[in-house]
Amino acid sequence: MIARYGTLPIVGWSMLLGGAMLLPFYAGQGTHIVITGNLLLAFFYLVVIGTSLTFSLYLKGAQMIGGPKASILSCAEPLSSAFLSLLLLGISFTLPDWLGTLLILSSVILISLDSRRRVKTV
């Protein structure tokens, strides 16, 4: 579908449908929202820059470099976020954090080993 329609329409429709499917779980919570200029600016940034643009760039990059490399990079993203939080924000890691880090590193290593094995057999 991405090859036929491009990344932006696919991302846009998937985000719209995902939000529509989650709406029944949020509707009727009694939240009163006051719409201001700052709220609209934050909403625009979150939707356009923080979600649509970044996900479109990820899909385009995955299309260019291939699935195995893209999956390795996507596994490394939570690690970089965690380590930057550790270094820049001073957040301390607990045992579950370290176990999650170990699991992510293990999956990255297994994916890269499998990719190398497949390249050698071809």
At 2-19, the pLDDT tens digits run: 778 877 788 778 878 887
In this predicted structure, what is the pLDDT of residue 99?
Answer: 93
Q: What is the pLDDT of residues 30-88, one digit of tens each?
A: 667 777 889 889 888 887 887 778 887 888 888 888 877 787 778 778 888 888 888 99
What single string gives the DSSP state of each residue in 68-109?
HHHHHHHHHHHHHHHHHHHHHS-PPP-HHHHHHHHHHHHHHH
In this predicted structure, what is the pLDDT of residue 19?
Answer: 79
- Rounded mean pLDDT of 93-114? 85
Question: Does the global pTM surpass 0.85?
Answer: no
Q: Tell me which residue has tokens 């899909």.
A: 59
In 3-state terms the chain splits into helix, strand, coil percentages (rounded to 5) of 85, 0, 15
Q: Which is more confidently placed, 115 or 85?
A: 85
Rounded Cα–Cα distance for residues 117 and 108 (Å): 14
Would you say residue 95 has pLDDT above 90? yes
